[in-house]
Amino acid sequence: MKFPTPLIPATLIRRYKRFLADCLLPDGQEIIAHCPNPGSMMGLAEPGMRVWLEPNNDPRRKLNYGWRLVDHENGHFTGVDTAVPNRAMRTALEAQEITELAEYETVRPEVKYGENSRIDFLLTQHGLPDCYVEIKSVTLMRQPGLAEFPDSVTKRGTKHLGELTNMVQQGHRAVMLYLVQRTDCQSFQLAADIDPAYARAFASAQTAGVERLIYTTRISPEEITITSPMPAV
């Protein structure tokens, strides 16, 4: 997925009110950028970090910049936009690039299901069980090379695991897909110390037949693309 507008570098001054970030542009101008991530962003919002912003001239938007990447300045990046995984995954699913799901030709996003929920993607194919796919963006790294989810308590995520379990019990296929939006990780695990309830819900869902997929990304200021599976530990 290519960024529609070329990104520009900046320095993070501070992130506040979850969705706002003060940033310093290379020309010395201080601006306010939209932060498209409601999570804790643990380790990704420290003052002085190098970031990449997407400018826009859309009069419908309140802010002229959107925060897209953290540049770790060692050749690695983290994508902070939680909407990117769904856009990138839709492209990959429609192109049948996700090996475990490549048999499905019809991809429908944001389909209502369960108890007042929406599944990220419903995949259908004649002769196959419907497949419900939930996507989670992974950006937390507390140990070198180890990606973790979640970075804060997620009651919504726990609810989603229950909904996926219900789909399996109804004879469908259900997949929890973790997309690691950082390039400096080689393995994945659940952050059970951060959200024990989510970890328990995942274990229960997996026992019931919910599948887990973990995929990595290639990230640059030009694009984010889905690459290959990542092992869990």
Q: What is the pLDDT of residues 172-208, one digit of tens each?
A: 999 999 999 999 999 999 999 999 999 999 999 999 9
- Across the range 72-84, mean pLDDT stands at 95
Supply the pLDDT for residue 16. Answer: 96
| Residue 19 φ then ψ, to 5° | -105, 10
Share of the chain above pLDDT 70, in %: 100
Residues of the chain with CATH 3.40.1350.60: 84-229
What is the spatial distance between Cα 5 and Cα 72, in angstroms, rounded to a whole number?
21
CA–CA gap between residue 158 and residue 162 (Å, rounded):
7
| Dist. CA 77–CA 73, nearest whole Å | 8
Mean pLDDT of 2-26: 96
Q: How confident is the model at residue 57 (pLDDT cuts 50, 70, 90)?
A: confident
Q: What is the pLDDT of residue 100?
A: 97
pLDDT tens digits along 218-233: 999 999 999 999 999 9
Q: Is 108 helix (H, G, I), strand (E, B) or coil?
A: strand
Question: Across all residues in the chain, what is the average pLDDT?
Answer: 96
* pLDDT greater at residue 58 or residue 143: 143
Tens digits of per-residue pLDDT, 152-175?
999 999 999 999 999 999 999 999
Looking up tokens 């790294």, which residue turns up? 141
What pLDDT is attached to residue 121?
Answer: 98
Pairing of strands 211-219, 173-180: parallel
CATH tag, 84-229 = 3.40.1350.60
* 208 closest CA partner among 106, 154, 132: 132
Instruction: Provide CATH 2.40.50.580 ranges for the chain.
Output: 8-79
Tell me the per-residue pLDDT of 17-50, one tens digit each, with 9 for 90 and over.
999 999 999 999 999 999 999 989 999 999 999 9
CATH code, 8-79 = 2.40.50.580
Per-residue pLDDT at 58: 82
pTM, rounded to two decimals: 0.95
**pLDDT tens-digit series, residues 111-139:** 999 888 999 999 999 999 999 999 999 99
Give the pLDDT confidence score for residue 116 in this predicted structure. 84
pLDDT at 144 over 90: yes
Q: What whole-number distance in Å separates Cα of residue 37 and Cα of residue 40?
A: 8
